[in-house]
Structure 1
Amino acid sequence: MSKSNQPGFMFTFVWGFDLAGDWEFVEQLSHTFASKGHEVIFVELEAGLEERLVRNKSPHRLQHKASKRNVERSEQDLLRTMETHRLNSFPGEIKRETYIRIETTNSTPAETAQLIKQRFHL
């Protein structure tokens, strides 16, 4: 993928900010793409628990993510992960010029995408 001629590539990841291995993985992945001349942009999305539970069983997610189709198990995984790990960064923790954090609880995907496009001139 790092050798692709495509104009862009999006990668999503549930980052446990309390896990050294997750930091190392993100750094290694970023380096792989940056070393090939690709711009690496970090977009951190956050939403409240109630909204995350609603989104977790949305038709789009159920259609495109097989792991979400067992809704009860998927909700338990989401709750356990939120209880066990820190899933959002502390202010100033990510020190990159190409970074934005967006609170999406009351935003549509289109609104969020527009914010990202504006911030990074895409």
Structure 2
Amino acid sequence: MKFLLIFGPQAVGKMTVGQELEKATALKLFHNHMTIELLEPYLGFSPEMWRLSTLFRTEIFKAVAESYQAGLIFTYVWAFNQEEDWNFVKNTCEIFESRGASIYFVELDADVDERLKRNKSPHRLEHKPTKRNVDWSENELKETIKQYRLNSNEGEIKRENYIKINNTNLNAKEVAKIISEKFNL
């Protein structure tokens, strides 16, 4: 069993890279918007929506960790200046590690201008209905830069199986190939 966490700021390419990895490996993709898109039409971006999203994600993690699946790819916007995000990542890893899974961390980073372009891409908008209000989504992207630190500092991630990739000038297939080769997926 393998658990691959792909994290980085919005519109950096986590889902698209995850889709390419899913095609090239036996791992299944569970991107973070799968729970958001399910719950947001009923609850908006409310505390209750986020609570249920975390609950659903946790239960899915437990079910997959106990299954005979090869593993899971999960995408996440990790606010490094928020203790609750550190706890979520720790608890999620513990679910998989308690069942003997190998854990892999992939951090993506890209220039803000590139992320703003990607934020409007037809592929992103197809898979993430809540991003279709592009003005709102773009504003959210810019505002979160002011509030949260969405990439790690040098040496902050202590995991053995960790790679940080600046994918500003790389496509998703290229990034997936780098990850797959690095971790022998």
1:14 lines up with 2:83 in the alignment: no
Q: Residues 120 and 134 of structure 2 are in contact (CA less than 8 Å); yes or no, is this contact kept in structure 1?
A: yes
Residue identity opposite 1:31 in structure 2: E
5+ residue gaps, structure 2, are: 1-63
Matched residue, 1:61: 124
Q: Residues 79 and 150 of structure 2 are in contact (CA less than 8 Å); yes or no, is this contact kept in structure 1?
A: yes
Q: How many residues align?
A: 122
Q: Residue 4 of structure 1: CA displacement?
A: 2.6
1:83 lines up with 2:150 in the alignment: no
Residue identity opposite 1:8 in structure 2: G
RMSD: 0.9
Greater strand fraction, Structure 1 or Structure 2: 2
Secondary structure at the aligned position of 1:81 is classed as helix
Matched residue, 1:2: 65
Q: Residues 1-122 of structure 1 correspond to what in structure 2 (within 5 A)?
A: 1-122=64-185
Give the Cα–Cα distance (whole angstroms) in 2 for the partners of residues 54 and 39 of structure 1.
34
Q: Residue 54 of structure 1: CA displacement?
A: 0.7
5+ residue gaps, structure 1, are: none
Would you identify which runs of 4 or more consecutive aligned residues in structure 1 move more than 2 Å?
none
Residue identity opposite 2:119 in structure 1: N
Q: Residues 110 and 168 of structure 2 are in contact (CA less than 8 Å); yes or no, is this contact kept in structure 1?
A: yes
Greater helix fraction, Structure 1 or Structure 2: 2
Residue identity (%) = 50
Q: Residue 3 of structure 1: CA displacement?
A: 1.7
> Which TM-score applies when normalising by structure 2?
0.64
